[in-house]
Chains A and B, each alone.
Chain A
Amino acid sequence: MREVTKEDKQTLLTYLRHMYEIRFFEEKVMELLAQNVITGASHLYAGEEAVAVGACAAIEPTDYITSTHRGHGHCIAKGGQLPQMMAELCGKQTGYSRGRGGSMHIADVAKGNMGATGIVGGNIPVGTGAALALKIRGEKKVVLCFFGDGAANNATFHESLNMAGIWKLPVVYICENNLYGMSVSTKRACAVQDIASRASAYNMPGAIVDGQDVLAVKEVVSKAVQRARAGLGPTLIEAKTYRYFGHSRSDPRKYRTKEEERFYKEQRDPITLFRVKLLEGKIATKEELDAVEKSVQQAIEEATKFALESPYPNASELYDFLYVE
């Protein structure tokens, strides 16, 4: 684990707060799914919090991200508002996408979130094109393009990284390798076990980082962002991580062992690891950390209340937003 240094206490507590927001948001979503209050599909990010939070800590609010089908964590880490997020998952008019998108389709371009996608690998070209726009305009901004290990076997991955490699685009590709593409292990689906090694095929640096260590992620992504801002081109970062829930709610998780799940939850949990570090580094007291945890729980309850009390879209608005008039 990376040592805690230099960063001020409030910043570190913010990372903890964001990780708790993601964790508790996902736990609440799971609860609402079980009650059928939330319908449809939700792919939960719990267990991977340090990747989104560490990566987004390395960029400015004016920078951009593209997300995945497992996108709640990215959205929160990029400054997403919990009430609008929960409302969207519930299909409510007050949601980010006015209930049209649900879990897999939240975007907030004004805030730099270019959206999630239900197509595995579908946003890798989009993030690449956003970086192209920034380069053509000469803006010193960057794009973080998130995707999973499954997407790294899709044509869009190879076409896009090649494009960014040729044009030296200001994009950082962040592969969240959680070991399984739905049910199929990367051992059976991917010809290499370190996806970062594919960077060499596209003439860009590749880096592997412990995706359970928020500060380690931040450090590696910061270097890549610096490089991108300086006009030196893209980087491929592979964060080794783990998802706690199944691929989606219908997943019985037959493809992995209870021992493996227990190992990650008990020994590699990103929030526990970060708490220990903050305590051992005497950055904060247990009471202070507990206070963060508690206030997030409160915020999740308020967000849920907001979502449940919000109205559904009116059926008469079915055709709204299809085209720009």
Chain B
Amino acid sequence: MSEKFYWEAIRDALREEMIRDPNVFLMGEDIAIYGGAYGATRGLYEEFGEERVRDTAISEAAIAGAATGAAMLGMRPVAEIMYADFLTLAMDQLVNTAAKNRYMFGGRTKVPMVLRTEGGAGRGIAAQHSQSTEAWFNHAPGIYVVMPATPYDAKGLLKTCIRDDNPILFIEHKMLYGTKGELPDEEYLIPLGSADIKRAGKDLTIIAYSRMVLVSLEAAEELAKEGIDAEVVDLRSIKPLDVDTMIRSVRKTGKVICVSEACRTNSVPSELISVIQEHAFDYLDAPIKRVCGADVPIPMSPTLEEAAVPRAEDIVQAAKQLVR
């Protein structure tokens, strides 16, 4: 075991897969010489050269579309879009070309590509660099959406994504790159669609993903001080969704909070709540709560930015209302 940063976990996953499979290559804005806006590709250009670690022009549609075309011919591109906000510029290629490819061509094609990006608030960089856009893609059939919260999960999931034959949107969080975690020295993979119980508990279930897992764990510690034992379920991938793990927990506790940093309306929790009531309605002791980002663009000013996304105390408050 060794302690590593989240960004190092990403870098190590890319590196190991590039060594393992010559079809894996990287492209994106500022990923080569600069090493990525958040440093996740540091050192790879030096190790693998410009043929496999490609700086591109600021051309998001061409990045996503070229990754699709290369994947259709059997390469395994890992493309990077610097901010999840910029996915709008690549969205047609992701939704209309990559995600629908195999289906609309009747299974004659496959698109084994990963598109890495990062989202989320926390750095005071305002409305166009702080958004959480996963729900838009969760809605599009044909593409998976993976959002790891820890270095361990980031590495194991990214390696799996690179080996998977489907297009995958892999969304990191800008406030997680500097977090640390223990990583095994030996190789490991984490299957897609496997949620992880990050904290076991019996009184209520908190379902979260990405940075909100850490915020939920913080909330759970607060609740523990008051004798409330919360279980924290980290979805890890929001599509495919691990319905079983989620529902098992809900059936055990009977009380649920769904947490997301994204705007509340039509968010991932909106969908989770539907799934839960379809599968576990009779087990619920109280209406399901959601703790989400406010329905506003992320503001710059620290007081406003902090108010725009869920805080541990918001989750604590929701939990107390549930448990009473």
Contact = CB atoms under 8 A, between A and B. Distances in A.
A136 B48 CA distance: 13
A96 B106 contact: yes
Contacts of A101: 104-106
A123 to B, nearest CB: 8
A163 interface: yes
Interface string B90-124: 00110011000111111111101000000000000
For B97, B142, B165, the residue with the greatest tally of chain A CB atoms inside 10 Å of its CB is B97
Nearest to B56: A163
A132 B70 contact: yes
Contact of A109 (B54, B59, B72, B164): B72
Nearest to A167: B54
A155 B73 CA distance: 24
A129 B69 contact: yes
A129 B105 contact: no
Interface in A56-85: 64, 66
Contacts of B93: 122, 125-126, 156
Interface stretch (B9-17, B60-68, B175-183, B284-292): B60-68
A126 B97 contact: yes
Interface string A106-120: 111110001101110
B252 interface: no
Given A160-B66, A321-B106, A119 B92 contact: yes
A109 B110 CA distance: 10
Interface in B4-47: 25
A100 B96 contact: no
A122 to B, nearest CB: 6
Contacts of B68: 125-126, 129
A99 interface: yes
Nearest to A163: B62
A98 B97 contact: no
B276 interface: no
B51 interface: yes
Nearest to B90: A125
Contact of A115 (B52, B105, B141): B105
A243 to B, nearest CB: 23
B104 A97 contact: yes
Given A96-B108, A322-B102, A125 B69 contact: yes
Nearest to A104: B104
Interface range, B side: 35 or more
Interface in A88-146: 95-101, 105-110, 114-115, 117-119, 122-134, 136-137
A129 B72 CA distance: 9
Contacts of B102: 321-324
A61 B321 CA distance: 67
For A99, A128, A129, A159, the residue with the greatest tally of chain B CB atoms inside 10 Å of its CB is A129
For A96, A125, A133, the residue with the greatest tally of chain B CB atoms inside 10 Å of its CB is A125
Interface range, A side: 35 or more
B96 A159 contact: no
B59 A163 contact: yes
A66 B66 CA distance: 12
A136 B52 contact: yes
A266 interface: no
A101 B57 CA distance: 33
Interface in B198-212: none
Given A129-B69, A323-B142, A162 B106 contact: no
A162 B62 CA distance: 9
B190 to A, nearest CB: 18
B122 to A, nearest CB: 30
Nearest to A115: B105
Given A129-B69, A129-B70, A156 B75 contact: no
Contacts of A276: none
A112 B4 CA distance: 44
A133 B73 contact: yes
A64 B109 CA distance: 14
Given A107-B105, A107-B109, A320-B107, A119 B66 contact: no
Contacts of A106: 105
A232 to B, nearest CB: 18
A110 B107 CA distance: 12
A1 interface: no
B110 to A, nearest CB: 5
B138 interface: no
B74 interface: yes
A96 B96 CA distance: 19
Contact of A100 (B56, B75, B104): B104
Contact of B105 (A105, A155, A159, A324): A105
Contacts of A125: 61-62, 64-66, 68-69, 93, 97
A291 interface: no
5 contacts: A97-B106, A98-B106, A115-B105, A125-B97, A126-B65
List of 7 A-B pairs having minimum Cβ-Cβ separation, nearest first: A125-B65, A129-B69, A129-B66, A97-B106, A98-B106, A321-B107, A159-B59
Given A133-B70, A163-B59, 19 more contacts: A97-B106, A100-B105, A109-B73, A122-B65, A126-B65, A129-B65, A129-B72, A133-B73, A133-B74, A133-B75, A136-B75, A159-B61, A160-B65, A162-B59, A166-B57, A321-B103, A322-B102, A324-B164, A324-B165
Interface of A: 64, 66, 95-101, 105-110, 114-115, 117-119, 122-134, 136-137, 155-156, 159-160, 162-163, 166-167, 320-324
